[in-house]
């Protein structure tokens, strides 16, 4: 069988590999075919039919996303027949849609709106068949709002939840006119296995799935003179928020972001990276402690140890592997460490009453909202983090405040909890936590830098689903002699589909690793459910590059060398990593949940 | 009764006195000969789509695979069709013989009868037949086992790829084609899905030979066909008739003297008004205004006491529920058609809105994902075109 297929599209010859879809072949010769249910991250559904094209000799039009090219095909993408059909299909979708676009969170960033505008749909052709019961928005979840009146039934969310995340919290229910995207037994979102990762949100073409928004509360707090509103910004926000504010993907706008947040009224703009560095110290020591217990004391400890900074991942393991929670590091995520310290250490140092502090986090994440509201996250005596806002919400706030973002002059983070290292920045990309941890742990054990050029542990970088590395430990410092000759084996997984593979190994007792990093979202936080839309592999790669460029440009690139981190262990966490204070403020416990 | 209206009883006729004789005969013949006979006979799928059965078997036979499947589609759900039930009740052995021959030809070891959920009452007697069939398979050296799979009541699962998904435990939604089931069918393996009656006809080809089979019917439409006759008729029932009869002949025989329309092919078929009876012939390409005449075998007769508006409304109500809902034109199109005729009837939209809706049926026919979605609007377009006044007044 020939493996190169030649065909013509709009009279232009094109040759592609066997199996290539007509849509992809057209893209190759710069012919854009409109789509709606298609998403490059997901398997092909072919159910919206918007991408239909005409093929000579075919009775019907064919869906270009779902039809592989065949030898000698003659495709036309822009005939009257195609245009009329496409316009009709879009008009049908509009007739099923809640078209109150002016009040929609996704207005101007909605794929249906864009199609309707491009094809100049006459809203009056078809009568609205929007069902009144679909107007009830499910706001039960801390993280995600589900508005069926905006749903176009493309099933991108369903495919995301099953294929990318192996969660299956949302699925298709009923048929015909009653067909809708629903949950198990149509339960509210907060009562199902949803892990709040928000991947459905960034794959939704419309406003049917959005993050629950909290920025109005924050505006009110900013307007309240009694309150000190503090924000910490996650590493991946600075390389993505530019996309909301006039930049292309991969623009690193850290300084402008800090300026903007100060300008719109946050009293202090601090860095989640600071607590990312702190996480490395605590988590690195926790790993070494577990290894010591296992190798020296021969105690039963849960190995491999798995990172716990991704709240979507944490809820996933709580639901799916409740008997394996001991494998999770007890470290809180950087957001929650920040919250606890902001209302204790920072409050004390700055002389502010903790009840007057509103601690906000700017996150690439939908699950951070749920995490902030976990009942156990009150170790400061208050709710440690008052609100986790997504990159998108922050972008909206900056726009609402009338800030001319591109014209801003760069500012630095405020101090005390604003210093950070390159090791913290890379938390934003898959493999980053692992790389940061290894830079520190290896040095603790051997007194030397990790044996990688310029500290860049490249085997754990990139978009491969599961990455592995092994580092041979030799010439240990005397205290760590028990690790002499041990090959420290690590793995990195991103996307919960890959996390499941890792967990199945652990369940089977075949996991060869000591330490595993898991991030719920494909690409890590730069691809998080709270990031600007669209997010796809091309965008992910650009954001990742920006992250590593930030790291490379940092004067300090190892967490344990962060001067403010040294300071907090001298002044506040005086009994050191894993000590009493850090146990109280920086570590947590987990909850067994049901699979259904 | 005219010649073509003679009951030919090819399908429902008596069994061969010796059980599984035809299957035994087929076991002795080379596969390619059987396939060639089927192709020569011109046998087309009796479920309605009318694909050449011989070709389907040939495609599945060509694909190398350890695992293959034969599926008997008994999800008889088209409104007004009830012939498969009769076949499975009266001559189940013929169906199993057809499956056995197909299994031998394509190299399948496993078969399913996908039985409409409402036909649950047939399960026990069918299982008895299947048990007996298995003993004959063993005797004949055919490594083949058949199992009944009960559907759950979705009309769309009669569509072959939705049926496959249903057996796999997935939502009964049609798949994208290609790949076709003969290449990647059940569990991704080469699969032949044939209607109950098709399997019997295939067996009949083996029994009487392609030449004899071909003598029945007309050009492009060979053999006989079971018709489920219902509606305003004194002679409702199932008839084994030859292809090629005109609707005029048919109505003369089955009508009540006042027939104003015949719905041919069920709810997804075409409505033929009295004035077109004489020019309409029943067969695969019998030229109903150039359209293929669907051949599931449902013939519903309506007399002048019937409101065609209500007939259409009833069909549309059926389809807006029974569309699987995944693709835009079928899911929303059916709802718009129903809402549309209601709006015209009530004067909310002008009569010309019917023309807009007719354009919509064109879109649905050329953009829907599966054969069902492409045909749901047939009844709409044929009823609205022929009975426009009834839609308005």
CA distances from A531 to A398, B131, B385 (A): 15, 60, 52
Separation CA A2–CA B121 (nearest Å)? 51
A232 and A306 co-located in one domain: no
A506 and A385 co-located in one domain: no
Residue A526 lies in a domain: yes
Q: Which of B12, B45, B300 is nearest to B158 (CA)?
A: B45
Determine the average pLDDT of the residues in A37-51.
97
Separation CA B204–CA B199 (nearest Å)? 9
Question: Which residue reads 């990312």 in tokens?
Answer: A276
A442 and A320 co-located in one domain: yes
* Neighboring chain B residues of A81 at a CB cutoff of 8 Å: 366
In CATH, what class is B308-392?
Answer: mainly alpha
A390 and A476 co-located in one domain: no
Q: How far is B368 from chain A (nearest CA, A)?
A: 7
Separation CA B317–CA B321 (nearest Å)? 6
Separation CA B385–CA B359 (nearest Å)? 12
Evaluate if residue A524 carries a pLDDT over 50.
Answer: yes
Measured N-to-C along each axis, helices A334-342 and A272-295 cross at an angle, to the nearest 10 degrees, of: 110
A25 and A160 co-located in one domain: no
Determine the average pLDDT of the residues in A267-294.
97
| B47 or B333, which is more confident | B333
pLDDT, residue A349, reads: 95
pLDDT, residue A558, reads: 97
* Neighboring chain A residues of B340 at a CB cutoff of 8 Å: 126-127
| A77 or B6, which is more confident | A77
Evaluate if residue B288 carries a pLDDT over 90.
Answer: no
Residue A113 lies in a domain: no
The verdict on a CB contact (< 8 Å) between A81 and B325 is no
Separation CA B93–CA A241 (nearest Å)? 69
Q: What is the DSSP string of B305-348?
A: TS-HHHHHHHHHHHHHHHS-S-SHHHHHHHHHHHHHHHHHHTTS
Residue A388, preceding bond cis, omega within 30 degrees? Answer: no
| A368 belongs to the catalytic site | yes
Residue A102 lies in a domain: no
Maximum Cα–Cα distance across chain A: 80
Contact A405, A255 (CB under 8 A): no
Residue A90 lies in a domain: no
A62 and A194 co-located in one domain: no
Determine the average pLDDT of the residues in A438-465.
95
The verdict on a CB contact (< 8 Å) between A176 and B332 is no
Report phi then psi at A488, rounded to 5.
-75, 115
The verdict on a CB contact (< 8 Å) between A88 and B365 is no
- Tell me the residue range of the domain where A60 lies: 4-78
Q: How many CA atoms lie within 13 A of B376 on its CB side?
A: 37
Evaluate if residue B1 carries a pLDDT over 50.
Answer: no
Contact A435, A291 (CB under 8 A): no
The verdict on a CB contact (< 8 Å) between B329 and A172 is no
pLDDT in tens, A115-142: 999 999 988 899 999 999 999 999 999 9
Question: How do B259-264 and A357-363 pair as beta strands?
Answer: unpaired
CB atoms within 10 A of CB A297: 10
Contact B338, B317 (CB under 8 A): yes
The verdict on a CB contact (< 8 Å) between A125 and B356 is yes
* Structural domains of chain A, count: 4
Calculate what percentage of chain B has a pLDDT beyond 90.
82
Hey, where are the domains in chain B?
10-216, 218-303, 308-392
The verdict on a CB contact (< 8 Å) between A177 and B321 is yes
CATH number at residue A518: 3.40.950.10
Mean pLDDT for chain A?
97
Separation CA A384–CA A391 (nearest Å)? 20
Separation CA B177–CA B189 (nearest Å)? 15
Residue A92 lies in a domain: no
Strands in A439-513 per DSSP E: 466-472, 487-494
pLDDT, residue B289, reads: 42
Determine the average pLDDT of the residues in A341-357.
97
| A8: DSSP letter | E
Identify the three-state secondary structure at position B153: coil
Q: How far is B364 from chain A (nearest CA, A)?
A: 8
CB atoms within 10 A of CB A466: 17
| B218 or A28, which is more confident | A28
* Neighboring chain B residues of A179 at a CB cutoff of 8 Å: 323-326, 331
Domain endpoint, select from A380, A407, A434: A407
* Neighboring chain B residues of A60 at a CB cutoff of 8 Å: 365-368, 374
Q: Which of A456, A309, A447 is nearest to A371 (CA)?
A: A309
Task: For Cα atoms A222, A223, A226, give the angle at the middle one, nearest 5 degrees.
Answer: 80
For the record, the structure tokens of A484 come out as: 């002499």
In CATH, what class is B218-303?
Answer: alpha beta
For the record, the structure tokens of B257 come out as: 């003297």
Calculate what percentage of chain A has a pLDDT beyond 90.
98
The verdict on a CB contact (< 8 Å) between A176 and B321 is yes
pLDDT, residue B282, reads: 82
A349 and A430 co-located in one domain: no
Domain at B10-216: CATH code:
3.40.50.11540
Query: Which runs of consecutive H residues, i.e. helices, occur in B141-195?
Result: 160-167
Residue A413 lies in a domain: no
Contact A562, A439 (CB under 8 A): no
A398 and A539 co-located in one domain: no
Separation CA A278–CA A346 (nearest Å)? 15
CB atoms within 10 A of CB A508: 8
Question: How do A268-271 and A228-233 pair as beta strands?
Answer: parallel
pLDDT, residue A2, reads: 79
A189 and A255 co-located in one domain: no
The verdict on a CB contact (< 8 Å) between A172 and B176 is no
* Neighboring chain A residues of B176 at a CB cutoff of 8 Å: 44, 46, 63, 66-67
Residue A85 lies in a domain: no
In the set A65, A69, A157, A525, the catalytic residue is A525
pLDDT, residue A468, reads: 96
A428 and A522 co-located in one domain: yes
- Which is it for the CA torsion A477, A558, A384, A329, positive or negative? negative
Determine the average pLDDT of the residues in A411-439.
95
Q: How far is B61 from chain A (nearest CA, A)?
A: 18
* Neighboring chain A residues of B367 at a CB cutoff of 8 Å: 49, 52, 60-61, 85, 88-89
Q: Assign B2 a pLDDT band (cuts: 50, 70, 90).
A: low
CA-based nearest residue in chain B for residue A55: B366
CATH number at residue A348: 3.40.50.1780
Q: How far is B323 from chain A (nearest CA, A)?
A: 4
Evaluate if residue B50 carries a pLDDT over 90.
Answer: no
pLDDT, residue B287, reads: 43
A341 and A241 co-located in one domain: yes
Task: For Cα atoms A101, A155, B356, give the angle at the middle one, nearest 5 degrees.
Answer: 60
Q: Which of A318, A110, A314 is nearest to A197 (CA)?
A: A314
Residue B282, preceding bond cis, omega within 30 degrees? Answer: no
In the set A146, A332, A343, A368, the catalytic residue is A368
For the record, the structure tokens of A51 come out as: 């991408």
Separation CA B133–CA B234 (nearest Å)? 38
A315 and A258 co-located in one domain: no
Identify the three-state secondary structure at position A435: helix
Q: How far is B172 from chain A (nearest CA, A)?
A: 9
Residue A89 lies in a domain: no
Determine the average pLDDT of the residues in A385-391.
98
In the set A141, A162, A252, A329, the catalytic residue is A329
Question: Which residue reads 């839609």 in tokens?
Answer: B391
Mean pLDDT for chain B?
92
């Amino acid at each position: 069988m020939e493996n190169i297929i030649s065909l013509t599209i709009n009279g232009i010859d094109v040759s592609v590999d066997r199996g290539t879809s007509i849509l992809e072949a057209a893209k190759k010769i710069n012919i854009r075919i409109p789509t709606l249910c298609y998403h490059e991250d997901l398997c092909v559904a072919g159910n919206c039919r918007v991408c239909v094209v005409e093929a000579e000799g075919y009775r019907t039009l064919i869906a270009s996303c779902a039809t592989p090219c065949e030898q000698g095909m003659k495709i036309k993408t822009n005939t009257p027949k195609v245009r009329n059909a496409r316009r009709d299909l879009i008009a049908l979708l509009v007739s099923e849609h809640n078209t109150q676009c002016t009040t929609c969170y996704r207005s101007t960033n909605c794929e249906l709106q864009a199609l309707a505008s491009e094809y100049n749909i006459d809203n009056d052709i078809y009568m609205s068949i929007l069902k009144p019961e679909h107007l009830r928005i499910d706001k039960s979840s801390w993280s995600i709002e589900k508005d069926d009146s905006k749903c176009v039934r493309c099933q991108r969310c369903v495919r995301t939840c099953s294929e990318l995340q192996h969660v299956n919290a949302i699925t298709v229910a009923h048929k015909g006119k009653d067909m809708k995207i629903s949950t198990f037994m149509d339960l509210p979102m907060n009562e199902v296995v949803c892990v709040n990762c928000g991947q459905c949100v960034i794959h939704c073409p419309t406003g049917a799935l959005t993050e629950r928004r909290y920025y109005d509360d924050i505006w009110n707090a900013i307007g309240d003179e009694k309150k000190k509103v503090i924000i910490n910004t996650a590493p991946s926000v600075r390389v993505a928020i530019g996309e909301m504010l006039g930049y292309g993907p991969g623009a690193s706008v850290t300084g402008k972001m800090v300026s903007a947040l100060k300008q719109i009224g946050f009293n202090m703009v601090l860095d989640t990276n600071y607590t990312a560095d702190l996480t490395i110290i605590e988590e690195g020591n926790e790993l070494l402690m577990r290894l010591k217990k296992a190798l020296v004391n021969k105690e039963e400890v849960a190995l491999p140890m798995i990172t716990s900074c991704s709240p979507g991942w944490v809820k996933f393991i709580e639901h799916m592997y409740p008997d394996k929670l001991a494998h999770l590091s007890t470290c809180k995520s950087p957001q929650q460490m920040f919250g606890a310290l902001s209302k204790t250490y920072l409050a004390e140092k700055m002389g502010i009453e903790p009840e007057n502090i509103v601690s906000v986090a700017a996150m690439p994440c939908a699950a951070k909202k749920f995490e902030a509201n976990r009942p156990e996250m009150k170790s400061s005596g208050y709710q440690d983090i008052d609100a986790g806002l997504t990159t998108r919400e922050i972008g909206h706030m900056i726009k609402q405040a009338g800030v001319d973002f591109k014209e801003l002059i760069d500012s630095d983070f405020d101090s005390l909890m604003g210093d950070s290292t390159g090791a913290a920045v890379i938390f934003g990309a898959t493999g980053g936590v692992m790389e940061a941890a290894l830079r520190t742990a290896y040095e603790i054990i051997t007194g030397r830098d990790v044996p990688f050029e310029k500290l860049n542990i490249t085997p754990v970088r990139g978009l491969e689903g599961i990455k592995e590395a092994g580092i041979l430990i030799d010439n240990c410092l005397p205290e760590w002699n028990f690790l002499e000759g041990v090959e420290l084996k690590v793995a990195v997984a991103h996307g919960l589909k890959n996390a499941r593979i890792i967990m199945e190994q652990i369940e089977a007792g075949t996991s060869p690793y000591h330490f595993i990093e898991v991030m719920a979202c494909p690409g890590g936080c730069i691809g998080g459910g709270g990031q600007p839309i669209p997010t796809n592999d091309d965008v992910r790669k650009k954001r990742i590059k920006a992250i590593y460029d930030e790291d490379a440009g940092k004067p300090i690139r190892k967490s344990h060398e962060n001067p403010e981190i040294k300071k907090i262990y001298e002044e506040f966490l005086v009994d050191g990593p894993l000590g009493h204070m850090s146990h109280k403020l920086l570590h947590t416990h987990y909850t067994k949940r049901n699979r259904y | 009764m005219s010649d073509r209206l003679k009951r030919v009883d090819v399908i429902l006729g008596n069994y061969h006195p010796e059980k599984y004789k035809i299957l035994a005969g087929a076991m002795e013949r080379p596969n390619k000969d059987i396939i060639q006979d089927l192709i020569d006979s011109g046998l087309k799928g009796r479920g309605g789509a009318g694909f050449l059965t011989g070709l389907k078997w040939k495609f599945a036979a060509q694909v190398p695979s350890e695992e293959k499947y034969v599926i008997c589609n008994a999800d008889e759900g088209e409104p007004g069709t009830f012939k498969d039930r009769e076949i499975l009740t009266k001559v189940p052995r013929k169906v199993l013989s057809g499956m056995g021959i197909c299994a031998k030809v394509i190299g399948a070891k496993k078969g399913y009868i996908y039985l409409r959920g409402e036909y649950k009452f047939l399960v026990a007697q069918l299982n008895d037949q299947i048990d007996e069939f298995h003993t004959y398979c063993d005797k004949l050296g055919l490594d083949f086992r058949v199992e009944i799979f009960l559907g759950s009541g979705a009309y769309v699962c009669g569509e072959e790829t939705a049926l496959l998904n249903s057996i796999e435990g997935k939502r009964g939604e049609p798949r994208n084609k290609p790949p076709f089931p003969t290449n990647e069918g059940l569990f991704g393996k080469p699969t032949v899905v044939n209607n109950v009656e098709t399997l019997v006809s295939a067996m009949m080809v083996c029994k009487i030979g392609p030449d004899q089979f071909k003598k029945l019917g007309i050009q492009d439409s060979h053999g006989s066909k079971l018709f489920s006759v219902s509606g305003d008729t004194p002679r409702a029932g199932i008839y084994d008739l030859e292809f090629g009869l005109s609707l005029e002949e048919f109505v003369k025989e089955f009508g009540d003297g006042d027939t104003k329309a015949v719905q041919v092919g069920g709810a997804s078929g075409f409505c033929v008004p009295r004035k077109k009876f004489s020019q309409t012939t029943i067969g695969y390409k019998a030229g109903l205004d150039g359209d293929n005449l669907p051949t599931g075998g449902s013939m519903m007769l309506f007399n002048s006491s019937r409101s065609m508006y209500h007939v259409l409304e009833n069909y549309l109500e059926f389809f807006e529920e029974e569309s699987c809902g995944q693709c835009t034109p079928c899911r929303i199109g059916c709802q718009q058609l129903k809402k549309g005729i209601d709006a015209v009837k009530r004067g909310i939209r002008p009569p010309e809105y019917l023309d807009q809706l007719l354009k919509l049926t064109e879109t649905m026919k050329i953009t829907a994902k599966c054969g069902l979605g492409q045909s749901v609007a047939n009844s709409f377009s044929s009823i609205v075109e022929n009975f426009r006044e009834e839609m308005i007044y």
